[in-house]
Amino acid sequence: MNEINIARLAKVIDHTNLRNDLSFDDVRAFCDEALEYGFYSVCLQPFYVSFAMNYLKGKNVKVGSIAGFPYGATPSILKIAEVESLVKLGIDEIDFVMNLPAFLNRQYDTVESEFERIVEICHSNYVILKIIIETGLLIPEEIAMATRLVCTSGVDFVKTSTGIVSRGATFEDIIIIKENIFEGTKIKAAGGIRSFDDILKFIEAGASRIGTSRAVDIFKTHYPNQSPD
C-alpha cells in the first residue's frame, strides 16, 4: 500500500480512548497521536471534550464523544441533555447508544422519537450523529430492524457496538446492516477491531468509518518506517 493510501486509510479512523482515568497529559498525547497519524477524529469521554477541542482547535482532527453510554437505558430526557451539553461545547460528532430495552421490548415509537429529537439537535448544529445499535445483543432480524429505524430518522451513521456491553463488530453484522441501510446513512464498525486485516475487511464489507483504540499499534505494526502524512 503506498503512502497516499495510508493517508486515506487513516482518514476512516476514529481514534478512540473511552477510559475515564486519563490525565490531561494523557489526552494531549492521545490527540498528538491522531495528528501524527492523520486519523479522522478522536473519541473521548465527555469530561475531556473541552480540553481536546481547545487543544485541537484549528487542526485537522475532529473531536467526538458519547451519549447514553454504554447501555442506552438512561431516560430519554437525560440522554437528550447529554447531547445538548456536548453540542453546546461545539463537538463535531456524537456516538449515541440506542435505547436497547425499548427496542428489545418492541417499543419502536419510543426508540424513533428519541432518534428524531437528537437528530434535530445535532443536525441543526452541524453535528454528525452515529447511533450504536449493539449488534452483539441482537439477532440478525433485529439488526436489520434497528438499521431501518436509524435510517428512517435520518441519522448519519449506524454503528455496530460500544465495545463494552457485548462482543464487538463482526463482518456478518456489516453485511446485514448494508442490506438494510438507506441511501445517505453510512456504517461505522467498532468493537474488537485489532488488526490491519480487520480494518480492510470491514471497509470492504461496507463500513466507511472504523472505531478502534488500537489504531496506533496497527499502523506501527504495518508501516513501521513510513509516515502516514
- Which pLDDT value is given to residue 151? 96
Q: For residue 188, indicate whether it is catalytic.
A: yes
Assess whether pLDDT exceeds 80 at residue 1. no
| Beta partners for residue 188, in sequence order | 159, 209
Q: Average pLDDT for residues 90-110, to the nearest whole number?
A: 97
Q: Which three cell numbers stand for residue 143?
A: 439488526
CB 127 within 8 A of CB 91: yes
What percentage of the chain carries pLDDT values higher than 90? 86
Sort 224 into a burial class: Cβ within 10 Å, 0-12 / 13-18 / 19+: exposed
- Which pLDDT value is given to residue 166? 82
Catalytic residue among 14, 95, 156, 198: 95
Catalytic residue among 62, 92, 188, 198: 188
6-15, 114-123, 220-229: range with lowest mean pLDDT = 220-229
Q: Considering only residues 7 and 50, tell me which one the structure prediction assigns the higher pLDDT.
A: 50
Quickly count: other Cβ atoms within 10 Å of residue 35's Cβ: 16
Q: How far is CA 56 from the centre of its chain?
A: 19
- Which pLDDT value is given to residue 180? 97
Q: Give the length of the chain.
A: 229
Q: Average pLDDT for residues 184-194, to the nearest whole number?
A: 94
Assess whether pLDDT exceeds 90 at residue 158. yes
Q: Average pLDDT for residues 73-81, to the nearest whole number?
A: 95
Q: For residue 95, indicate whether it is catalytic.
A: yes
Question: The whole model's pTM is what?
Answer: 0.93
CB 178 within 8 A of CB 187: yes
Q: For residue 26, indicate whether it is catalytic.
A: no
Catalytic residue among 62, 92, 159, 173: 159
How many whole angstroms separate alpha carbon 16 and alpha carbon 39?
10
